[in-house]
Structure 1
């Protein structure tokens, strides 16, 4: 962006901030009226809420070491109880009471409809806060199709839940590590599964309307699974090291892509012949082979360890924990038990870093290719962006080699002078780089409502952050205006 364009953009920012301040002043007046109404929220004092306040008071004293003899603490909680009593004892204004009754009836009607219509399923959309309503039979059909296509799931035919076997395997492995004093005292407290919350993971598909035929993204909800805490420990240990190793070939966000492109232009490498390549890896998490992924993990650990350790854990201990997680990816779906035999569970904290390490080994030939031809290479999980001055035929030949390199990695690619990558439209107009914001067709507009009790700076930062992002991504002020 030129200095003139940036100056114009700054003026736009200043004008927008000024308008926001005026709107906020008006909003505060209305907010004060709402605050007055909030003091009359219910007709009777809720004893359970008062009890919850007392429990919270005890918890704060216990965990935050608040002295019980402090008069300020006693006074604060007494005032809080008094305030809640007033709020819950004052009747609602008639207008609010009528409105709340109407909304309650509306919500109840939806609940009753969904309860009666067992053929309808409501799910949150993938990568969105919007709900998707579809036919239950379609969800089941697509789930079965995905299982057959990937061959990543195997039904446990004995009809017995594998939960107890998994728990026994996890406890045995952890006891062995503790006995050998491999785990630190902190890790010993973090890893063991919580027996009072233990449950087997369950499958649910999140609809992805931005994909052809509204594919389902297979999520294994295993938040209380036996290996969940082990997975979280591995996820806390490995990603910082991985990111430090691959930083030059990894995109953190769309602004990172812009910076790489701008440097490419400043280095005099961007020409009218420059082409962009966008590559999408299909079903990355579920298609990577287990043994191949573990071998890639072992090589990565050996290359980046210090004295045979990553942090406080030795390489062999990390490998045992990784295998423990992968060997026990089991879940329930439609009253049947399944075991995942390929890839990692989408929903497990360890899966992403394992897939990234496997991809890091796979992509080395592409990195070498772009480096030799003075191009750009970067990956954002399963999305790859390249820029090079090679011909389309030469690029296709290299990509075909990559497609034959590993049958588990299936890619779709596009070679063009104008592509969409992440949230950017990138164009080569006769040797001139043009970038602007790309709005995905399925993106739903969303802003934080002004009425919730969020700090004012959060409301103010929504348009400010959007404008800042637009200024970073747009290469010309005219694109910014559009």
Structure 2
């Protein structure tokens, strides 16, 4: 119900309104309440019963807390990596200068071209200091908060993405066996584990979450781990044309400029990387790779599974509870910065699947978080009709891949059916495309009857069907160390060529078509609860004459003189 809150809050509206905060909160509550009540009425639900009244009370409290409360003190205690700057000086200009200097150095060394340098430079008209905002995780009970640093227009943002694309293919090549790519990848690993006879009636599953992965990495420890990784897996001290020293310069630039604004103050992150920076993910993965080696070796010696998806660890074990607990405790002693909270059981939830061992029989099914909304793209949206047609089909494909038995598959099919009805899909439309799924995969009998043998074949066929991403990875035959994909020319893009031909050419008839922008997702309470962005004078306070000089210089270098054109 609460997912129908408004999508967007105008930045800093409390700054240019003269109303008290409580009045603003009351106005926002009334706006959201009207939307929620209309949603309930449309779905023939009461807006006066006890459940609705309690929900409205909770909604009012959440909105008032959003406006009137600061971040919890508990979160500040967890935020040891964040150091408040004592001065009111914004470091944006210094970061911009450091970014330009390192790119000029690469051009001078003939490592990148001038055109590539220009692509890695920030947009001077939009450049700003990153800012922190707390992202409420409404899919979890208690609505905990994840601190996100928005660095979309930060000077080092493009370098961060570039370094991520440079290093991540190498990391995935090195840690392929122990990296969980997605749900399907884990189910495949479990199926192979079972087929090899390693699953017994005593086998247990272990899940563990690494606490604060992105912010727990010590500065020097992380840099040293990255250096050892580069020295071990580079060729002749290089990755593509970049020497180890050049890569370390980029990494230090990103980590040393981890500044952000929050509530009219400036902070610097002294540990780990920003949650919102692309480089942080591969940086954390490389740091974890060293720590997990002993666990990987222990699991391999016992023919057990070890896998990690970013900060989520999954393991299998047939050892006693005391033995495996001692192994995990020993792993935690290796590095005081890494803390995990393991769960050992015959049935666990990992990512979006439930994994169960029932007397040596493995079952997997789709796991739905208790607070998850039954949401699909609404049928009334303005998206192309082909997208709506594919939603029931792809939902059943996902269910057949992840559900190992027919009973769980049919239960998931019913859930999909109800969810689609709630999103305004017609019953006849849903039935037709469900039938299309079974006809395409030659499993029509499953639409009406319980045939375990037929479903087992369907499940295995879809589970091991290669995805588009896997086909692209298999087609990439070049060594990512010698020929980094980020430096390779992109394949021919038919849609881009079509767009340039029909929309960018001056005489195109398509130029008269009026474009209509539509939201990609439904309005979300999560979007509504995000704290507002700091004012522009805190995130982009470069002196006006500095900005003018930089823009004027860029225009002189890249643009020919133009005649004045009157504004329409």
TM over 0.5: yes
Structure 1 residue 363 corresponds to structure 2 residue 292 = yes
Give the deviation of 1:212 after TM superposition.
Answer: 5.8
Q: CA RMSD in A?
A: 2.5
Does the CA contact (< 8 Å) of 1:287 and 1:408 recur in 2?
yes
Per-residue deviation, residues 145-168 of structure 1 (Å, max 9, x unmatched)? 323323110111011111112222
Give the deviation of 1:310 after TM superposition.
Answer: 1.3
CA distance in 2, matches of 1:458, 1:411: 41
Structure 1 residue 181 corresponds to structure 2 residue 110 = yes
Equivalent residue, structure 1, for 2:188:
259
Structure 1 residue 135 corresponds to structure 2 residue 65 = yes
Does the CA contact (< 8 Å) of 1:183 and 1:313 recur in 2?
no
Does the CA contact (< 8 Å) of 1:424 and 1:473 recur in 2?
yes
Equivalent residue, structure 2, for 1:343:
272
Q: Please state whether the residue corresponding to 1:464 is helix, strand or coil.
A: helix
Structure 1 residue 383 corresponds to structure 2 residue 286 = no
Does the CA contact (< 8 Å) of 2:140 and 2:369 recur in 1?
no
CA distance in 2, matches of 1:243, 1:353: 9
Q: 2:350 aligns with which of 421, 424, 427?
A: 421
CA distance in 1, matches of 2:279, 2:154: 13
Equivalent residue, structure 2, for 1:462:
391
Q: Please state whether the residue corresponding to 1:409 is helix, strand or coil.
A: coil
Q: Please state whether the residue corresponding to 1:154 is helix, strand or coil.
A: strand
Going from structure 1 to structure 2, the CA distance change for 1:180 and 1:205 (only over 3 Å counts) comes to same
Q: 1:118 aligns with which of 12, 15, 21?
A: 21
Q: 1:449 aligns with which of 357, 378, 382?
A: 378
CA distance in 2, matches of 1:436, 1:380: 18
Equivalent residue, structure 1, for 2:79:
150
Equivalent residue, structure 2, for 1:269:
198
Q: 2:322 aligns with which of 375, 393, 398?
A: 393
Per-residue deviation, residues 258-294 of structure 1 (Å, max 9, x unmatched)? 1111111110111001010001111111111122111
Higher alpha-carbon deviation: 431-440 or 271-280: 431-440
Going from structure 1 to structure 2, the CA distance change for 1:300 and 1:455 (only over 3 Å counts) comes to same
CA distance in 2, matches of 1:332, 1:172: 24
Give the deviation of 1:186 after TM superposition.
Answer: 4.3
CA distance in 2, matches of 1:203, 1:404: 32
Q: 1:411 aligns with which of 340, 365, 372?
A: 340
Give the deviation of 1:225 after TM superposition.
Answer: 0.8
Going from structure 1 to structure 2, the CA distance change for 1:409 and 1:477 (only over 3 Å counts) comes to same
> What TM-score, normalized to structure 2?
0.61
Instruction: Please list every run of 5 or more consecutive structure 2 residues that lacks an aligned counterpart in the other structure.
Output: 29-58, 412-568
CA distance in 2, matches of 1:429, 1:117: 59
Per-residue deviation, residues 117-159 of structure 1 (Å, max 9, x unmatched)? 735498xxxxxxxx974613675132x5323323110111011
CA distance in 1, matches of 2:150, 2:184: 32
Does the CA contact (< 8 Å) of 1:230 and 1:321 recur in 2?
yes
Give the deviation of 1:235 after TM superposition.
Answer: 1.5
CA distance in 1, matches of 2:67, 2:298: 46
Equivalent residue, structure 2, for 1:431:
360
Give the deviation of 1:339 after TM superposition.
Answer: 0.6
CA distance in 2, matches of 1:287, 1:379: 17
Does the CA contact (< 8 Å) of 1:287 and 1:342 recur in 2?
yes
Q: Please state whether the residue corresponding to 1:452 is helix, strand or coil.
A: coil
Does the CA contact (< 8 Å) of 2:21 and 2:68 recur in 1?
no
Q: Please state whether the residue corresponding to 1:239 is helix, strand or coil.
A: helix
Equivalent residue, structure 1, for 2:145:
216
Does the CA contact (< 8 Å) of 1:373 and 1:390 recur in 2?
no
Q: Please state whether the residue corresponding to 1:197 is helix, strand or coil.
A: coil
Going from structure 1 to structure 2, the CA distance change for 1:233 and 1:139 (only over 3 Å counts) comes to farther
CA distance in 1, matches of 2:387, 2:246: 44
Equivalent residue, structure 2, for 1:57:
none
CA distance in 2, matches of 1:233, 1:475: 39
1:192-211 residue pairs with structure 2 within 5 A? 192-211=121-140
Bigger RCO (CA 8 Å, 6+ sep): 2
> What TM-score, normalized to structure 1?
0.72
Q: 1:330 aligns with which of 240, 255, 259?
A: 259
CA distance in 2, matches of 1:366, 1:174: 40
Give the deviation of 1:432 after TM superposition.
Answer: 0.8
If each structure's strand is expressed as a fraction of its own residues, which one has the higher value? 1
Q: Please state whether the residue corresponding to 2:202 is helix, strand or coil.
A: coil
Structure 1 residue 191 corresponds to structure 2 residue 191 = no
Does the CA contact (< 8 Å) of 1:418 and 1:427 recur in 2?
yes
Q: 1:317 aligns with which of 231, 235, 246?
A: 246
Higher alpha-carbon deviation: 328-337 or 231-240: 231-240
Q: 1:247 aligns with which of 150, 172, 176?
A: 176
